[in-house]
A and B are shown apart, each in its own frame.
Chain A
Amino acid sequence: MSSHAAPAAGTQLKAVYKHLDSLLQGIHDLHEAGVRDFTVLSPIPRHEIEEMLYKGEPSPVRWFTLFGGLLGGTMIFSLASLTHANWPMIIPGGKPLVSIPPFLVVTFEGTILWASLMTLIGLLVMCGLPFTDPPAAMEDPRFTNDCFGIVFTRVPKNAEKIVHILEHSGAFEVTGGGAHG
């Protein structure tokens, strides 16, 4: 464990963990201290992290999916119906111009297509992707390899206490400094 002088308020702070349980301890201890304005980095998704940070609150991406599905289905059914109504051929056999069974096929495809595309948009919006200018503290290749991290993009005034919590929870490296990117 490396010990450093606490960084100045407003600068970045990065704690690197080798172990998941240490990371969870760090998150817990920070919450206990009333500190919540930090980002956790992980090479894989872990339900424990999400549960601690978001308390099971579902992602709003689902609303994008629902909206996309409704929009796509309505659009394609309308397109099929209106184009057939626009050229009202008399179909032998007296079949209706706007016929639901054959139009359901394209309506289904439109629903799935637009639900997926809107889910993609929802994902990009909610994740803040493309993430073009990440804070320097997040640009650590270990976070996509075998380490977990807690990053403060702007250290609050009680930086010394935070460094102590992070080191005490099991972070093997705590580094600070550098302005917010």
Chain B
Amino acid sequence: MSKELTYSQVNRDVMRPLFSPSMAWHALMALVTVGLAYGAFCWGIQLIWGLGVAGYHPPVFWGVYITTFVFWVGIGHAGTLISAILFLTRSRWRTGIYRAAEAMTIFAVMTAALFPAIHVGRAWQAYWLFPYPNQRQLWQNFKSPLMWDVFAVSTYFTVSTVFFFIGLVPDIAAVRDNTKGFVKKMYNVMALGWRGTDRQWRHYMAAYGFFAALATPLVLSVHSVVSWDFAMADTPGWHSTLFPPYFVAGAIFSGCSMVITLMLPLTKLFKLEAYIHTWHFEHLAKLCMFTGGILTYAYGTEYFIAWYSDNQYEWGTFTDRVFGKYWWVFAMMVACNCTIPLLWWFKKVRTSFVGLFAISIVVNIGMWFERYNIIASSLAHSFDPGAWVYYTPTYIEIGILIFSFAWFFLWFLLFVKIMPSVAIAEVKETLRPPLKHDEEAAAK
């Protein structure tokens, strides 16, 4: 962070983009509206006609919806990782980017949360997932990984939202003090009347540390639990103890790539270069290189274990992924997640706008295909050769996939217009405080 920055300049710079949407912002919102309208049309058709409009083909009843659910939960990893784990390890590079990354987490999990409701078809009965006694005194099965998933994702969402909101409170107060009238009142409500008293800061810092400590194991647990949705089943291609670390590494890989995808244009658009440098993006790229390496190793291990286990069903599924009808999905996964990101090993690539932005999008595409590869190809090529099928999504599923992206970007675009996308108070903490001693020394 530049040492020439002053506290008041931080306030001015970070608040400048608020309340005055640019043409680019309006254009993106228009695009998002089109995506939402098309997706809502597709979902509407599914609600009216039922799940038959999806491309499900027995025994494949998990397809694009579960793939997209896992994809968005994975994206939701990076925000809390950056804000909680890097806070506890006192990594300085988190400061400029963590606010937008946290917002990304919340909106990604909000997007993922749509998919259980979409996937069950009768969305109005999705509340059956939650534990409550029904009229027949039947309860959910707490031994089921699907039940664990409900707890894991809802806990992750709640804790991440609380952590995000608490982090915002002092900055909302700063925005409040730059507004007037009704808007000021609204920000004051959102800031809970924060004034920055010694008593408030004392308890705030203690609580923030606890939130970070509590969120850290959640980051690692939530995708482990999601992976058990698959690994606890005996389906070939899923039944593996490798899944939790493999899924967590993949989630961090995709989440950090999405942070790069979002933050690079945001930094340029809002002129935040004084706060978010190439240095920040390079660290994110390095984190992607590390987790991408783990992921590539996990892909290799999967194949080794499938071969070494001497289980014909397991090995059959894995060879079918490479040489069967889903070969193109496998090829996309390996190209986008293992091969192309290797370009980031060149400093020139990982410090250039185009190199960072393009590869981060490639990784996002690759990580969606990875989940599709795990889910669709395993179910389509299970134990019974008579039940082997080729599942392909319909335009309804593709429409709902587009809807998920539009939904996510809707929230993100609204967020950057009404909330400071860089943490004002924390950026100030990284600056040298204004000291009389310094002024006197400079005057001499």
Which residues of chain B in 10-65 are interfacial with respect to chain A, using CB atoms and an 8 Å cutoff? 11
The 8 Å CB contact of A61, one of B198, B206, B436, B439, is B206
Q: Which residues of A contact B7 (CB under 8 A)?
A: 43-44, 145-146
- B131: CB under 8 A from chain A? yes
- B139: CB under 8 A from chain A? yes
Max count, chain A CB within 10 A of own CB: residue among B163, B198, B217: B198
Q: Which residues of A contact B413 (CB under 8 A)?
A: none
Interface pair B211/A50, CB less than 8 Å apart: no
- B202: CB under 8 A from chain A? yes
* Interface residue tally on B, bucketed by range: 35 or more
Q: Which residues of B contact A120 (CB under 8 A)?
A: 162, 166, 207
Separation of A149 and B423 alpha carbons in the complex (Å): 22
Separation of A126 and B205 alpha carbons in the complex (Å): 12
- B158: CB under 8 A from chain A? yes
Chain B residue with the shortest CB-CB distance to A114? B155
Interface pair B206/A83, CB less than 8 Å apart: no
Q: Which residues of B contact A22 (CB under 8 A)?
A: 436
Q: Which residues of A contact B196 (CB under 8 A)?
A: 41-43, 143-144
Separation of A129 and B200 alpha carbons in the complex (Å): 9
- B225: CB under 8 A from chain A? yes
- B199: CB under 8 A from chain A? yes
Q: Which residues of A contact B194 (CB under 8 A)?
A: 129, 131
Separation of A110 and B166 alpha carbons in the complex (Å): 20
Interface pair A132/B193, CB less than 8 Å apart: yes
Task: Give a binary string over A105-135; 1 marks a CB under 8 Å from any B CB, 0 the rest.
Answer: 1101110110111011011101111111010
Write the nearest CB–CB distance from B36 to chain A, whole angstroms: 31
Interface pair A126/B139, CB less than 8 Å apart: no
Q: Which residues of B contact A21 (CB under 8 A)?
A: 435-437
Interface pair A127/B200, CB less than 8 Å apart: yes
Interface 9-residue window, one of B143-151, B249-257, B302-310: B143-151
Q: Which residues of A contact B137 (CB under 8 A)?
A: 86-87
The 8 Å CB contact of A102, one of B143, B193, B195, B435, is B143
Task: Give a binary string over A25-44; 1 marks a CB under 8 Å from any B CB, 0 the rest.
Answer: 00000000000000111111
The 8 Å CB contact of B11, one of A53, A106, A145, is A145
Task: Give a binary string over A79-95; 1 marks a CB under 8 Å from any B CB, 0 the rest.
Answer: 11001101100000000
Interface pair B210/A44, CB less than 8 Å apart: no
Interface pair A116/B206, CB less than 8 Å apart: no
Separation of A22 and B195 alpha carbons in the complex (Å): 20
Separation of A56 and B291 alpha carbons in the complex (Å): 39
Chain B residue with the shortest CB-CB distance to A52? B198
Separation of A127 and B188 alpha carbons in the complex (Å): 16
- A180: CB under 8 A from chain B? no
Max count, chain B CB within 10 A of own CB: residue among A46, A113, A143, A170: A113
The 8 Å CB contact of B434, one of A76, A122, A146, is A146
The 8 Å CB contact of A146, one of B6, B192, B214, is B6
Interface 9-residue window, one of B169-177, B382-390, B401-409: B169-177
Interface pair A112/B434, CB less than 8 Å apart: no
Interface pair B131/A83, CB less than 8 Å apart: yes
Max count, chain B CB within 10 A of own CB: residue among A19, A40, A53: A19
Q: Which residues of B contact A74 (CB under 8 A)?
A: none
Interface 9-residue window, one of B91-99, B264-272, B273-281, B425-433: B425-433
Write the nearest CB–CB distance from B84 to chain A, whole angstroms: 11
Interface pair B197/A41, CB less than 8 Å apart: yes
Chain B residue with the shortest CB-CB distance to A19? B436
- B442: CB under 8 A from chain A? no
Q: Which residues of A contact B301 (CB under 8 A)?
A: none
Separation of A112 and B217 alpha carbons in the complex (Å): 9
Separation of A22 and B438 alpha carbons in the complex (Å): 12
The 8 Å CB contact of B159, one of A49, A87, A112, A146, is A112
- B221: CB under 8 A from chain A? yes
Separation of A20 and B7 alpha carbons in the complex (Å): 12
Q: Which residues of A contact B189 (CB under 8 A)?
A: 130
The 8 Å CB contact of A106, one of B142, B162, B215, B437, is B142
The 8 Å CB contact of A134, one of B133, B170, B195, is B195
Separation of A64 and B408 alpha carbons in the complex (Å): 34
Interface pair B206/A59, CB less than 8 Å apart: yes
- B112: CB under 8 A from chain A? no
Chain B residue with the shortest CB-CB distance to A134? B195
- B411: CB under 8 A from chain A? no
Chain B residue with the shortest CB-CB distance to A126? B203
- B8: CB under 8 A from chain A? yes
Q: Which residues of B contact A59 (CB under 8 A)?
A: 202-203, 205-207
- A99: CB under 8 A from chain B? yes
Q: Which residues of A contact B435 (CB under 8 A)?
A: 19-21
| B→A interface (CB under 8 Å) | 6-8, 11, 131, 133, 137-140, 142-143, 147-148, 151-152, 155, 158-159, 162-163, 166, 170, 173-174, 176-178, 189, 192-207, 210-211, 214-215, 217-218, 221, 225, 228, 425, 428-429, 433-437, 439
| A→B interface (CB under 8 Å) | 18-22, 39-46, 49-50, 53-54, 58-59, 61-62, 65, 76, 79-80, 83-84, 86-87, 99, 102-103, 105-106, 108-110, 112-113, 115-117, 119-120, 122-124, 126-132, 134, 138-139, 141, 143-146, 170
13 A/B residue pairs, CB under 8 Å, sorted by A: A39-B199, A43-B7, A43-B428, A54-B202, A59-B205, A61-B210, A102-B142, A112-B217, A119-B210, A126-B199, A127-B200, A128-B199, A132-B193
